[in-house]
């Protein structure tokens, strides 16, 4: 029995090393889709939707300011009715005609997103979290894959947005958060090179063709997704949208490039553990759906 156990451990170790070598090879080989010399799509073809519960605050203000520097056609902040007044006050103080506010009665990210989708007048819609910072050339790199009509969505790589003057405990959580994001960048880049797919187009900043989102079948499915036919899902919005592209034969791009790198915040307190549990639940729900319900990945 001891010999069998040692043999199994040896085989498992060899498998892990081989998998790591393959992943490293694929990661180093991926190249982003380059920006064209004469692009058909520009920043004025982009509307940015930011679902936000609070709808105001310093972090959101910094997010909007960083996005405005990329000169999109419009930014739409979608919050709750109770916070819409504060959101409008922040927007008026900014003095930008390119930012406006919409609201729904209760916080629900999927419904907040769908509230804004019919209002979009541009060819491309980008969803962004309310705590991200964009680099100045982000739109150039996100729009590059969408020059090809066969692509439906474009993801970005991400780095941790560090807290100012963090305490010792915050530094520990920041280290764990940074590791998570780096591992995710690594996994997405490797998967994209190997077969043109990835675990998920992260909703922190992601671009889609507006025509896909404004399709009535998408909007209904997006707001009525159920797990096991009993539980209505309000989370997992980015997993759903990634699967939708796959099942509708749309290519996915992942722009691993410094100019396509957004900064984001993650929990730097004990809520980090709950955050990891939510991610774990989302992943196995989405993977089971892909494998045994959608089944498109097998083809």
What integer pLDDT is reported at residue 6 of this predicted model? 42
CA dihedral sign of residues 116, 120, 123, 127: negative
Average pLDDT, the chain: 89
The two three-digit tokens of residue 234, written as one number: 């309000």
For the chain, give every domain's residue range.
Answer: 40-298
How far is residue 60's CA from residue 94's CA, in Å, rounded to a whole number? 12
What integer pLDDT is reported at residue 163 of this predicted model? 81
How far is residue 296's CA from residue 46's CA, in Å, rounded to a whole number? 29
* 5 — pLDDT class (breaks 50, 70, 90): very low
How far is residue 47's CA from residue 92's CA, in Å, rounded to a whole number? 19
Fold of 40-298: Spore Coat Polysaccharide Biosynthesis Protein SpsA; Chain A (3.90.550)
Give CA angle at 46 (222, 157), nearest 5°: 75
Given the DSSP bridges, would you call strands 124-128 and 205-209 parallel, antiparallel or unpaired?
Answer: antiparallel
Which tens digits make up the pLDDT trace of 65-114?
999 999 999 999 999 999 999 999 999 999 999 999 999 999 999 999 99
């Amino acid at each position: 029995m001891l010999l069998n156990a040692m043999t199994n451990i040896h085989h498992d170790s060899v498998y892990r090393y081989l998998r790591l070598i393959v992943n490293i090879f694929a990661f180093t080989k991926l190249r982003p889709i380059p920006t064209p010399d004469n692009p058909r799509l520009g920043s004025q073809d982009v509307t940015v939707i930011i679902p936000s519960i609070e709808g105001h605050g310093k972090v959101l203000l910094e997010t909007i300011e960083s996005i405005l520097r990329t000169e999109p056609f419009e930014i739409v902040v979608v919050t709750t009715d109770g916070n819409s007044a504060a959101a409008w006050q922040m927007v008026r103080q900014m003095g930008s005609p390119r930012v406006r506010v919409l609201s729904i009665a209760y916080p629900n990210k999927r419904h907040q997103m769908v509230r804004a989708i019919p209002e979009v007048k541009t060819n491309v819609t980008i969803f962004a979290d309310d705590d991200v910072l964009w680099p100045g050339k982000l739109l150039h790199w996100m729009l590059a894959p969408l020059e090809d009509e066969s692509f439906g969505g474009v993801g970005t790589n991400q780095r941790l947005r560090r807290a100012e003057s963090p305490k010792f405990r915050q530094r520990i959580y920041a280290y764990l958060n940074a590791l998570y994001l780096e591992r995710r960048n690594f996994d997405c880049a490797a998967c994209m090179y190997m077969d043109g797919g990835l675990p998920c187009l992260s909703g922190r900043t992601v671009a889609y063709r507006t025509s896909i989102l404004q399709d009535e079948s998408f909007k209904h499915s997006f707001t009525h997704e159920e797990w096991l036919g009993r539980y209505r899902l309000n989370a997992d919005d980015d997993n759903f949208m990634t699967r939708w592209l796959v099942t509708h034969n749309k290519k996915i791009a992942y722009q691993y490039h410094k100019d396509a790198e957004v900064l984001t915040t993650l929990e730097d307190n004990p809520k980090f553990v709950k955050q990891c549990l939510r991610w774990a639940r989302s992943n196995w729900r989405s993977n089971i759906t892909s494998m045994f319900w959608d089944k498109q990945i097998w083809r």
